[in-house]
């Protein structure tokens, strides 16, 4: 086997049982392959990206995909029928790898002794979580349960204090996970930064003028009254009742606001009230010292005054 594929390209663990498909690439271990296919709905080869309708989990690194006889959900090798896992559309030549997968997906309690009812598995995650709390005073992080793409037995179990630390500061050993971010408006935690940004966009407000014209990003307001106060203080808000009720009628400049008032609010007003003064900034430029006049050459105001005095004396 290629030296670069002695380890799983996903989890970096030794590649003892590999997943092979019609492309014959061996890049992932059995557990990572099933996780990708079942939980992430990704059936592509991690190396060539070909879609693999079925894969075979085998510890035999010399066999190719074509060495197996396959008919639908039946696969044979050496006269033996391989175990089929419907959830991941995978065949297992290695029974130990399949049993490991079944254990990872099971809802059996890892704390109860063998032989107990709970050890044999529960019906769903709700029952599993309730059992952990009632029997062992342990809890699961619901954000991780809902968002992490891992099997049941891969989920961490916490005491209440450990859960609080997990949510606020993340991994105890200084790992990459730094906790679930908090929305300071709602005092609610979300799974990660992407989820926080989506929550803020959907549940709270931002200023479109600041974002488009001032390049201010990721500045949010808890509710519309707070945003309206910002519009009033930083921009030009239309204070007419109908515009206040409609919301978001705000402009970047006084000139835009006056133009809006003239076209929207004055159309039905009496003619005597339709005049809206619009401020126009005018700059006056005079021919000054050192400026070139339109007839060519340079002249200044002092030169003109000097010629006037000489002309008057000659008269």
pLDDT digits (tens, 9 = 90+) for 135-144: 999 999 999 9
- What is the pLDDT at residue 1? 40
The strand pair at 74-77 and 69-71 is best described as antiparallel
Which residues have a Cβ under 8 Å from the Cβ of 17 and sit 6 or more positions away? 29, 30, 57, 58, 59, 94, 97
78 Ramachandran zone, left/alpha/beta (phi>0; psi -120 to 50): left
* CA of residue 290 relative to chain centroid, distance: 60
- What is the pLDDT at residue 4? 42
Which of 197-206, 208-217, 283-292: highest mean pLDDT?
197-206
Neighbours of 306 (CB within 10 A): 11
203-210 long-range contacts, CB within 8 A, separation 24+: 207/231, 207/234, 207/235, 208/248, 209/234, 209/235, 209/250, 209/251, 209/252, 210/234
- What is the pLDDT at residue 152? 94
Query: Quick one: tokens of 194?
Result: 């992407």
Closest among 242, 272, 234, 245 to 260, alpha carbons compared? 242
- What is the pLDDT at residue 42? 96
- 37: pLDDT strictly greater than 70: yes
The strand pair at 90-92 and 55-58 is best described as parallel
Give phi and psi for 265, each to the nearest 5. -95, -15
Averaged pLDDT of the chain: 86
DSSP 28-92: SBHHHHHIIIIIS---B-TTT--B-S-EEEES-TT--GGGSEEETTEEEETTEEPEEETTTTEEE
Percent of the chain with pLDDT over 90: 70
**SS3 at position 140:** strand
Question: pLDDT for 81-90, tens place per residue?
Answer: 999 999 999 9
- 178: pLDDT strictly greater than 60: yes
Type and span of the H or E element at 189? strand 188-189
**CA 139, 145, 150, 151: dihedral to nearest 10 degrees?**
60
What is this structure's pTM? Answer: 0.73
- Of residues 172 and 5, the one with the higher pLDDT is 172
């Amino acid at each position: 086997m290629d030296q670069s594929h002695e380890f799983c390209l996903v989890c970096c663990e030794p590649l003892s049982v590999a997943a092979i498909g019609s492309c014959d690439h061996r890049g992932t271990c059995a557990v990572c392959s099933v996780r990708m296919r079942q939980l992430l709905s990704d059936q592509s080869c991690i190396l060539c990206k070909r879609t693999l309708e079925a894969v075979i989990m085998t510890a035999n690194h010399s066999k190719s995909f074509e060495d197996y006889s396959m008919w639908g959900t039946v696969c044979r090798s050496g006269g033996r029928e391989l175990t089929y896992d419907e959830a991941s559309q995978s065949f297992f030549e290695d029974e130990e790898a399949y049993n490991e997968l079944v254990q990872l997906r099971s809802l059996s309690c890892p704390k109860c002794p063998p032989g107990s009812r709970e050890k044999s598995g529960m019906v769903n995650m709700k029952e599993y979580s309730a059992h952990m709390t009632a029997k062992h005073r342990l809890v699961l992080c619901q954000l991780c349960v809902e968002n992490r793409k891992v099997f049941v037995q891969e989920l961490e179990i916490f005491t209440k204090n450990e859960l609080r630390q997990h949510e606020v500061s993340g991994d105890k050993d200084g790992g990459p996970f730094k906790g679930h971010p908090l929305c300071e408006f709602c005092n609610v935690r979300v799974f990660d930064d992407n989820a926080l940004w989506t929550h803020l966009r959907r549940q709270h407000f931002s200023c479109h003028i600041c974002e488009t014209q001032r390049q201010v990003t990721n500045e949010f307001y808890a509710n519309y009254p707070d945003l309206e106060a910002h519009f009033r203080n930083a921009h030009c808000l239309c204070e007419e009742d109908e515009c206040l009720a409609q919301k978001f009628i705000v402009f970047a400049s006084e000139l835009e606001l006056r133009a809006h008032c003239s076209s929207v609010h004055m159309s039905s007003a009496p003619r005597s009230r339709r005049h809206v003064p619009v401020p126009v900034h005018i700059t006056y430029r005079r021919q000054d010292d050192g400026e070139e006049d339109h007839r060519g050459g340079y002249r200044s105001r002092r030169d003109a005054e000097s010629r006037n005095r000489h002309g008057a004396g000659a008269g």
